């Protein structure tokens, strides 16, 4: 068995029995090797004991003194163990309220009056004197708790003391045998220590260590661990990119007459950003290497037109093109648009979703396989069960399924590999996109076509509720429709449901008894949701109260007012997406953000971004700045693995460095050395189950 993957049972450690091993396993620590990579979350500096007289209540402090007395007090059947210590100038009382007989006798024998001890704990001010409750103790020169002491994230049933003891043993056993997967020269160039050194240092920092950089997590040893993680991520992306690019693609000539006449037939000119993106795509497709490109742009920026123009290029060259979207409703919408566009040049186009069954499905599959139908719009169903194409040149897919979709298509197509265009309406700042989509080239449409109306945005507090009701009534009186969105309540689904239902009832019974009010919740089946959404779209409700984020991309042009309750509970980018549900028709639209009375000034400042900006990019950037990328988009959803040590956004300079080094490693060797390949595979299989992500 190779060293790197060795898994030594936890029970081989002193102090770890079956019970503790089980607790550790439940928290994901399976072996002694795993323990070695469980780094401290913080460090306590116990090198410089403080004079007792200078102690302040509330602080965690370390003091050094002599034991004056050890005594046990009983009060109402409860005992308190007290140890009085002095550093000659001041006196401090150490107290334990819970302890066992063993602890007591141990304390009495190890800390007899006159012996020197070091105690660390939180200082409390109590009845006119300073005390420390349940401090950590060590004897002077005791090997364990003086110096800079690591603090670990604990597992239930394992205290700090035991955790240190077992991790120290784990490090002693394994650190010496750790292999350094990163080439020596790379580490030297970056002035980074080796992995074994870093592991030892982080768990047992020497007395002359820089405690503050350890606590900030930016010591060279921290950087080495983070860099390793980022490097294997980047190597994985590059490896994947290489594998894909060695496949032969289909070269599509530039500027087909089909594309040109389609663009001329449109009632508008492409924006500059659209033209730029289209020519990047077209240039990529002229190559006989498959394109892997991300097309990003805010909702309404006109991605579909660009994608369709590229699809026509493929068709003009005698091949097929498909568009895959996540839901049937969206597939139908796109199909309707594209059918209209395909009608004039007379290009056959088909819709392929899960609803398509039986004879029709078989027929369409045949037509795809024979190449009779060059354009197909569909959902995942399109590739789910072995649909083959006679000559697929371009696959346009929605970001949500990019990994799975690309892989399956790449596997299935035995011939030449299709070009891929991934569209996303989540405008990711370039710095972030480089990190997440390192295996894709990037085109950005950062411009909204002229003539769009801005949605007027206001922040209302609870005292503005009467004003809100007047605004709602006014829109409805003018024949418009209103969304009222309620945030998801975390606790239980039931409370989420009842909150929205109560709200709907309140509007229906008390506030607007004459209006038609619909309710949409996450607990409804997708058929029920579809039915409610359709009814609202057809004007059968005046107001739609909803707890679920109304499906992105679904159009209700007659809806002109979006009310968002507890707006402070939403992320800015989510608010932007919700606001995008209105302002889609010719009527002017508003978005009202309702906030609670308890809302902090900070939260209110944050919401003001919504008033200032209508740009998804700006808002996303702000959201990222405030909340970090983890909240901004689920990393899994973005196709990014979970990082254990590095933070893709905070450590983005290190990420850029990792990207550069990964490129060099590939360039130098043409292919990666085996030990690196092994590490890359391990990284990806640990963090991201590729097989199940699609
Ligand atoms: P996206 O997919 O980026 O959300 P769409 O491609 O659906 O945006 O475009 C939104 C609307 O804008 C469509 O009705 C489309 O016809 C229209 N549109 C696209 N490009 C332009 C343009 N350059 N000028 C005016 N309208 C445009
Ligand atoms: Mg769209």
Percent of the chain residues past pLDDT 90, beyond the cut: 33
Question: Does the structure show a pLDDT above 70 at 402?
Answer: no
Binding site membership of 302 for ligand 1 (Cβ less than 6 Å): yes
**Cβ proximity of 348 and 376 under 8 Å:** no
pLDDT band at residue 3 using 50, 70 and 90 as cut-offs: very low
Binding site membership of 322 for ligand 1 (Cβ less than 6 Å): no
For ligand 1, atom 13, the nearest C-alpha belongs to 302
The helix (run of H) or strand (run of E) holding residue 424 is strand 419-424
Sign of CA dihedral 535, 563, 576, 694: negative
Listed range (35-39, 196-200, 342-346, 523-527) with the worst mean pLDDT: 523-527
Query: Residue 634: its pLDDT value, please?
Result: 42
**Cβ proximity of 504 and 517 under 8 Å:** yes
Q: What mean pLDDT do residues 544-550 have?
A: 76
Query: Residue 260: its pLDDT value, please?
Result: 93
More confident residue, 456 or 402: 456
Listed range (21-35, 477-491, 509-523) with the worst mean pLDDT: 477-491
Which domains does the chain show, CATH number per domain?
52-146 (2.40.50.140), 257-445 (3.40.50.300), 456-613 (3.40.50.300)
What is the position in ligand 1's atom list of the atom closest to the CA of 297? 3
Query: Residue 415: its pLDDT value, please?
Result: 67
CA 404 to centroid of ligand 1, rounded, Å: 28
Query: Residue 146: its pLDDT value, please?
Result: 66
Binding site membership of 305 for ligand 1 (Cβ less than 6 Å): yes
More confident residue, 3 or 248: 248
Query: Residue 346: its pLDDT value, please?
Result: 92
What is the position in ligand 1's atom list of the atom closest to the CA of 451? 25
Question: Does the structure show a pLDDT above 70 at 353?
Answer: yes
Report CA 148 to chain centroid distance, whole Å: 33
Question: Does the structure show a pLDDT above 60 at 393?
Answer: yes
Binding site membership of 580 for ligand 1 (Cβ less than 6 Å): no
**Cβ proximity of 409 and 382 under 8 Å:** no
More confident residue, 377 or 640: 377
Pocket of ligand 1, candidates 299, 302, 445: which has the most ligand atoms within 8 Å of its Cβ, to mutate? 302
Residues 135-175 have pLDDT tens digits of: 988 765 444 556 888 989 888 888 888 898 899 999 999 88
| Cα diameter, the chain | 99
Query: Residue 108: its pLDDT value, please?
Result: 79
For ligand 1, atom 9, the nearest C-alpha belongs to 302
Residues 273-291 have pLDDT tens digits of: 999 999 999 999 999 888 9
How far, in Å, CA of 25 to CA of 178, rounded?
Answer: 22
Question: Does the structure show a pLDDT above 90 at 199?
Answer: yes
136-139 and 590-594 strand pairing: unpaired
Residues 435-462 have pLDDT tens digits of: 666 667 889 898 888 877 789 999 999 8
Query: Residue 231: its pLDDT value, please?
Result: 92
**Cβ proximity of 467 and 317 under 8 Å:** no
CA 603 to centroid of ligand 2, rounded, Å: 31
Helix, strand or coil for residue 468?
A: helix
Listed range (20-34, 242-256, 428-442, 537-551) with the worst mean pLDDT: 428-442
Residue 316: how many CB atoms within 10 A of its CB?
20
pLDDT band at residue 548 using 50, 70 and 90 as cut-offs: low
More confident residue, 494 or 345: 345
Residue 125: how many CB atoms within 10 A of its CB?
12
Q: What mean pLDDT do residues 231-258 have?
A: 84
More confident residue, 591 or 16: 591
pTM over 0.85: no
Query: Residue 145: its pLDDT value, please?
Result: 57
Query: Residue 489: its pLDDT value, please?
Result: 55
Binding site membership of 268 for ligand 1 (Cβ less than 6 Å): yes
**Cβ proximity of 649 and 629 under 8 Å:** yes
Across the chain, mean pLDDT equals 83
CA 395 to centroid of ligand 2, rounded, Å: 16
More confident residue, 619 or 410: 619
For ligand 1, atom 10, the nearest C-alpha belongs to 300
């Amino acid at each position: 068995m190779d060293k790197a993957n060795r898994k030594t049972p936890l029970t081989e450690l002193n102090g770890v029995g079956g019970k503790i091993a089980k607790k550790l396993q439940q928290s994901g620590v399976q072996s002694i090797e795993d323990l070695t990579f469980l780094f401290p979350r913080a460090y306590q500096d116990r090198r410089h004991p403080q004079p007792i007289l200078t102690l302040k209540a509330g602080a965690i402090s370390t003091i050094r003194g002599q034991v004056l007395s050890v005594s046990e007090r009983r009060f109402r059947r409860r005992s308190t163990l007290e140890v009085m210590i002095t550093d000659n100038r001041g006196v401090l009382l150490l107290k334990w309220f819970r302890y066992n007989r063993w602890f007591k006798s141990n304390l009495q024998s190890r800390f007899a009056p006159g012996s020197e001890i070091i105690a660390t704990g939180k200082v409390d001010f109590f009845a006119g004197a300073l005390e420390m409750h349940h401090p950590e103790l060590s004897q002077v020169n005791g090997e364990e708790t003086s110096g800079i002491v690591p603090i670990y994230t604990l597992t239930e049933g394992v205290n700090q003391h035991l955790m240190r003891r077992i991790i120290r043993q784990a490090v002693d056993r394994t650190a010496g045998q750790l292999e350094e997967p990163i080439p020596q020269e790379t580490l030297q160039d970056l002035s980074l220590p080796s992995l074994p050194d870093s592991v030892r240092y982080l768990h047992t920092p020497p007395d002359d260590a820089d405690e503050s950089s350890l606590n900030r997590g930016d010591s060279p040893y921290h950087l080495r661990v983070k860099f390793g993680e980022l490097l294997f991520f980047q190597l994985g992306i590059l490896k994947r990119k290489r594998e894909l690019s060695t496949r032969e693609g289909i070269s599509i000539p530039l500027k087909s007459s089909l594309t040109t006449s389609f663009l001329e037939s449109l009632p508008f000119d492409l924006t500059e950003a659209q033209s730029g993106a289209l020519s990047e795509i077209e240039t990529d497709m002229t190559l006989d290497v498959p394109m892997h490109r991300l097309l990003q742009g805010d909702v309404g920026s006109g991605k579909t037109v660009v994608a369709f123009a590229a699809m026509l290029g493929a068709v003009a060259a005698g091949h097929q093109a498909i568009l895959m979207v996540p839901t049937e409703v969206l597939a139908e919408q796109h199909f309707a648009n594209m059918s209209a566009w395909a009608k004039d040049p007379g290009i056959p186009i088909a819709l392929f979703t899960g609803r398509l069954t039986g004879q029709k499905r078989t027929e369409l599959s045949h037509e795809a396989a024979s190449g009779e139908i060059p354009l197909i719009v569909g959902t995942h169903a399109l590739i789910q069960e072995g649909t083959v194409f006679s000559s697929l040149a371009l696959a346009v897919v929605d970001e949500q399924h990019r990994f799975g979709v690309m892989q399956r298509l790449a596997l299935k197509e035995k011939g030449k590999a299709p070009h891929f265009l991934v569209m996303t309406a989540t405008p990711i700042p370039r710095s972030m996109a480089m990190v997440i989509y390192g295996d894709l080239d990037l085109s950005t449409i950062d411009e909204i076509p002229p003539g769009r109306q801005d949605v007027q945005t206001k922040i209302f507090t609870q005292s503005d509720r009467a004003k809100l009701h007047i605004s709602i009534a006014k829109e409805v009186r003018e024949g418009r429709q209103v969304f009222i969105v309620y945030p998801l309540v975390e606790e239980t689904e039931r409370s989420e449901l009842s909150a929205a239902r109560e709200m709907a009832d309140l509007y229906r019974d008390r506030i607007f008894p004459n209006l038609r009010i619909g309710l949409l919740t996450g607990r409804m089946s997708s058929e029920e949701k579809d039915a409610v959404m359709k009814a609202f779209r057809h004007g059968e409700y005046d107001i739609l109260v909803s707890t679920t984020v109304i499906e992105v991309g679904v159009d209700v042009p007659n809806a002109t007012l979006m009310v968002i309750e507890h707006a402070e509970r939403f992320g800015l980018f989510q608010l932007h997406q919700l606001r995008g549900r209105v302002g889609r028709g010719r009527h002017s639209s508003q978005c009202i953000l309702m906030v609670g009375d308890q809302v902090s000034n900070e939260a209110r400042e944050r919401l003001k971004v919504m008033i200032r900006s209508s740009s998804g990019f700006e808002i996303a950037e702000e959201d990222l700045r405030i909340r970090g990328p983890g909240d901004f988009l689920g990393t899994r959803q973005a196709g990014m693995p979970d990082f254990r040590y590095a933070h893709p956004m905070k450590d983005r300079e290190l990420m850029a460095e990792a990207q550069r080094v990964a490129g060099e490693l590939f360039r130098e060797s043409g292919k990666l050395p085996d030990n690196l390949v092994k590490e890359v595979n391990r990284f990806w299989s640990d963090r991201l189950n590729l097989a199940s992500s699609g």
